């Protein structure tokens, strides 16, 4: 399979397309006509298409705005307006070959990577980041609280504590992530959701509010979930926000550390993370509480559209909004939160 030809064909045919992740992905405007991203004419797109690095991989696509995702097949390429009969034959043969050579993985609960998060080098950089998160949330977290909440102040502290010498990003990029970003370790310990907390100029590939750092080669879920305890024999409240800092504020400032599941969608759709958690935690009785940003992607209509894929249509769903003047989300001190709740269904 000629992946270079495949990559160049996508770049020349998909609107807004450009290389990302060091050439391992293409980012473009979403090809789902039901997505708002589909009609953009400027700015960055939200659909990523992987370019396989070996013939043991398949090309996958995922829109981080609407949840449109899957494996690229000749049918999918046709829907995107790309017609190349020879490529169709090659990609069909390749996908069938990979399907035969890889046994399906049965989802039996959640697969965790073992990861030590027990060390923070107490230096000026660590103090700066601790002050940042405490000031941002109006909290008084200690270094031990940071570790307990699966927060990674400095990327290199975590990598060194686990004897991980192989970087998954360029060393210059990793240096910037260590210095100018705050990290939140994902549910299965395979990713770190990195939040930029400095105005310092960094490489354009990571010059974003959030960027993910993949710790392990075969990484899994990117969602940050706060470590808490739940009793599945009782009503479980599932709290979901868009970003890690938002859900941390919800946990500390709104729900005051009460039991429940607290997670950020981290680019996934609401229905994706809800179905994943309900299935893998095997929760029979729950409520869902959503804390969206006050923007075009946080309207009730947009959220209803996102929730059409939730397996159980009878779960009560509540939407929480921060109506404090000038604030767009919950990632602020308690004194700047005026919480309003409506029952969406």
pLDDT value at position 101? Answer: 46
Token pair in block for residue 278: 């309900």
Question: What pLDDT is attached to residue 302?
Answer: 83
Contact 191, 214 (CB under 8 A): yes
What integer pLDDT is reported at residue 220 of this predicted model?
Answer: 80
CA atoms within 13 A on the CB side of 179: 12
Angle separating helix axes 85-101 and 3-13, nearest 10 degrees? 120
Contact predicate 331/249, CB 8 Å: yes
- In the chain, the N- to C-terminal Cα span, in Å, equals 48
pLDDT of residue 177: 96
**pLDDT value for 106:** 32
CA 99 to CA 150: how far, in whole Å?
36
How far apart are the C-alpha atoms of 2 and 55, rounded to whole Å?
A: 10
Distances (CA, A) of 55 to 10, 77, 252: 18, 19, 46
Residue 183 near residue 192, CB atoms below 8 Å: yes
The CATH 3.40.1360 portion of the chain extends over 236-343
Do 31 and 38 meet the contact criterion of CB atoms below 8 Å apart?
yes
CATH architecture of 236-343: 3-Layer(aba) Sandwich (3.40)
Secondary-structure percent of the chain, ordered helix, strand, coil, rounded to 5: 35, 20, 50
pLDDT at 98: 67
CA distance 196 to 178: 10
Residue spans of the chain under pLDDT 70? 98-110
């Amino acid at each position: 399979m000629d992946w270079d030809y495949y990559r160049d064909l996508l770049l020349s045919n998909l609107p807004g397309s450009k290389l990302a992740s060091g050439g391992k992905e293409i980012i473009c405007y979403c090809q789902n006509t039901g997505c708002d991203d589909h009609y953009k004419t400027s700015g960055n797109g939200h659909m990523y298409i992987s370019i396989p690095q070996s013939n043991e991989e398949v090309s996958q696509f995922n829109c981080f705005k609407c949840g449109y995702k899957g494996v690229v097949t000749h049918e999918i390429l046709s829907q995107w307006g790309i017609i190349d009969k020879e490529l169709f034959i090659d990609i069909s043969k390749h996908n069938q070959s990979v399907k035969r050579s890889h046994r399906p993985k049965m989802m039996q609960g959640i697969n965790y990577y073992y990861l030590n998060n027990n060390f923070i080098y107490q230096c000026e950089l660590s103090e700066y980041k601790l002050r940042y998160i405490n000031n941002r949330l109006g909290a008084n977290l200690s270094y031990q609280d940071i570790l307990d909440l699966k927060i990674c102040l400095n990327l290199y502290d975590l990598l060194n504590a686990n004897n991980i010498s192989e970087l998954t990003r360029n060393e210059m990029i990793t240096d910037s992530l260590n210095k100018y970003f705050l990290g939140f370790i994902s549910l299965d310990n395979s990713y770190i959701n990195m939040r930029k907390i400095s105005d310092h100029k960094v490489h354009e590939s990571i010059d974003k509010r959030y960027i993910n750092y993949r710790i392990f080669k075969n990484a899994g879920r990117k969602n940050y979930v706060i470590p808490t305890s739940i009793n599945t024999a009782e009503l479980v409240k599932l709290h979901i926000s868009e970003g890690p800092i938002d859900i941390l504020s919800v946990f500390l400032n709104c729900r005051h550390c009460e039991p429940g599941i607290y997670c950020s969608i981290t680019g996934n759709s609401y229905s994706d993370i809800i179905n994943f958690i309900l299935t893998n935690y095997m929760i029979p009785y729950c409520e869902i509480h959503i804390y969206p940003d006050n923007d075009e992607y946080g309207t009730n209509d947009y959220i209803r559209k996102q929730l059409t894929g939730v397996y159980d249509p009878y779960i009560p769903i509540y939407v929480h909004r921060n109506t404090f003047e000038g604030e767009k989300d919950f990632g602020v001190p308690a004194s700047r939160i005026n919480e309003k709740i409506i029952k969406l269904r």
